[in-house]
């Protein structure tokens, strides 16, 4: 059994998109999400967690410990019922068992079985109540390093849908792309919360692996070319940490190599980590 994570971590992830839509906004016709005041591109924490879930689902076939709770077409009440069945407890509508140990066993079963609950937490207070868990891993929104200019591309289809349209030569459609953008995402790993969910060092190693590889099995015409480019991890010596997170994030800086032209490649940027300003008790790992 792998050791429970007993150190605090922060991380900075850089990923890119080329001629694709990294995170469509359903409130804006599925256009790439942007900050309306600065025009910087945004990718939500929920989107990034989805990529991690999908990678873990592919990478690990031990579904008893690395199963995914929030997945496509999942019926959560049916999944929650399995926890009660395993513990031999009859569920009450919308309520956890009154016995504290039984309630803890139900929630503990869900943490032990599902990787994403151990990692990100979950609100399982549905009709079949399995409790609520706050996960040790949290993301902020990813933001592009420069303002983006989303483009709307018209596409054509030679086939038609309905027989009445058979005489038409083609049908038209639209898609939105970002020509190029490098995004920065920041996140946190809490040791005290890892202890509560049973999040282990093996789980953490799988998480780092997922961050670097989550786009490799997520390619599509809509998302264009996406790739994780760099991961900087800050490891503390203690569970509570040795330095404030914002000071560690400030150690990672990015500059444009040529301000005269729009960025179109990862090599248009230089990423640096200020090791000389590293606080005591912090280990920096670059991937």
The domain containing residue 221 runs over which residues?
9-165+172-286
Question: Rounded to 5 degrees, what are φ and ψ at 283?
Answer: -110, 130
Q: How far apart are CA 262 and CA 128, in angstroms?
A: 52
Secondary structure (H, E, C), the chain = CCCECCCCEEEEEEEEEEEECCCEEHHHCCEECECCCCCEEEECHHHHHHHHHHHHHHHCCCHHHHECCCCCCCCHHHHHHHHHHHHCCCCEECECCCCHHHHHHHHHHHHHHEHHHHHHEEEEECCEEEEEEECCEEECCEEEEEECCCEEEEEEECCCCCHHHCCCCCEEEEEEEEEEEEEEEEEEECHHHHHHHCCEHHHHHHHHHHHHHCCCCCCECCCEEEEEEEEEEEEECCCCCCCCHHHHHCCEEEEECCCCCCCCCHHHEEEEECHHHCCCCEEEEEC
Q: Which pLDDT band holds residue 62 (cuts at 50, 70, 90)? A: confident
- The total number of residues shown for the chain amounts to 287
Residue 4 lies in a domain: no
Number of domains in the chain: 1
- Tens digit of each residue's pLDDT (9 = 90 or more) over 36-50: 999 999 999 999 999
Does pLDDT of 12 surpass 70?
yes
Structure tokens at 143: 């933001």
Q: Residues 7, 237: contact at Cβ < 8 Å?
A: yes
Q: What is the mean pLDDT of the chain?
A: 92
How far apart, in whole angstroms, are the C-alpha atoms of residue 224 and residue 15?
13
Asked, for residue 3, whether it belongs to a domain, the answer is: no
**Is pLDDT at 13 greater than 80 in this prediction?**
yes
Residue 108 pLDDT exceeds 90: yes
Residue 277 domain flag: yes
29 confidence band (pLDDT: 50, 70, 90):
confident
pLDDT at residue 166 in the model: 66
Whether 2 maps to a domain, the answer reads no
Compute the C-alpha angle 188/189/195, nearest 5°: 155
Residue 152 domain-assigned (yes or no): yes
Pick 174 or 233 by higher pLDDT: 233
b vs e for 120-132, b when ≥16 Cβ sit within 10 Å of the residue's Cβ? bbbebeeebbbbe
Banded pLDDT at 18 (limits 50, 70, 90): very high
Looking at 88-102, 123-137, 160-174, 208-222, which range is the least confident one? 160-174
Question: Does 246 fall in a domain?
Answer: yes
| pLDDT of res. 135 | 96
Overall average pLDDT of the 256-269 stretch: 94
What's residue 156's pLDDT?
80
Alpha-carbon radius of gyration of the chain? 22
Strand partners, 175: 153
On the question of pLDDT at 164 being above 90, the answer is no
Is the pTM of the predicted complex or chain greater than 0.85?
yes
Q: Is the pLDDT of residue 233 over 80?
A: yes
Residue 172 has a pLDDT of 74
pLDDT band at residue 162 using 50, 70 and 90 as cut-offs:
confident
Q: How many CB atoms lie within 10 A of CB 263?
A: 21
Residue 169: pLDDT band with limits 50, 70, 90: low
Q: Identify the band that residue 3 occupies on the pLDDT scale cut at 50, 70 and 90.
A: very high
pLDDT value of position 153:
84
Confidence of residue 155 (pLDDT cuts 50, 70, 90): confident
Does residue 66 lie within any of the structural domains? yes
In a domain, 275, yes or no: yes
In the predicted model, is pLDDT for residue 61 greater than 90? Answer: no
pLDDT for residue 161? 73
Nearest-10 Cα torsion for 138, 143, 145, 147: 180
Per-residue pLDDT tens for 174-211? 888 999 999 999 999 999 999 999 999 999 999 999 99
């Amino acid at each position: 059994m792998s050791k429970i994570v007993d150190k605090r971590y922060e991380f900075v992830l850089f990923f890119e998109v080329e001629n694709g839509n990294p995170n469509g906004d359903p409130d804006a016709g599925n256009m790439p999400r942007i900050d309306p005041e600065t025009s910087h591109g945004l990718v939500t924490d929920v989107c990034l967690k989805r990529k991690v879930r999908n990678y873990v689902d592919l990478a690990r076939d031990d579904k008893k410990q690395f199963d995914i709770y929030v997945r496509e077409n999942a019926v959560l009440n049916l999944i929650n019922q399995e926890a009660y069945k395993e513990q031999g407890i009859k569920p009450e509508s919308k309520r956890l068992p009154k016995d504290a140990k039984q309630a803890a066993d139900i929630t503990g079963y869900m943490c032990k079985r599902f990787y994403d609950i151990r990692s990100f937490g979950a609100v399982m207070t549905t009709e079949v109540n399995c409790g609520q868990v706050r996960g040790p891993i949290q993301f902020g929104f990813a933001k592009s390093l420069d303002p983006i200019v989303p483009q709307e591309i018209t596409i054509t289809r030679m086939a038609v849908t309905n027989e009445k349209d058979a005489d038409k030569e083609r049908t038209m459609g639209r898609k939105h792309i970002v020509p190029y953008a490098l995004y920065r995402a920041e996140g946190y790993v809490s040791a005290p919360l890892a202890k509560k969910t049973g999040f282990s060092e093996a789980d953490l190693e799988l998480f780092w692996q997922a961050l670097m590889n989550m786009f490799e099995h997520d390619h599509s015409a809509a998302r264009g070319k996406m790739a994780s480019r760099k991961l900087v991890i800050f490891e503390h010596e203690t569970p509570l940490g040795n330095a404030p997170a914002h000071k560690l994030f400030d150690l990672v800086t990015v500059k444009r190599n040529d301000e005269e032209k729009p960025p179109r490649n990862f090599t248009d940027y230089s990423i640096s980590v200020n090791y000389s300003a590293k606080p005591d008790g912090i280990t920096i790992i670059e991937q």
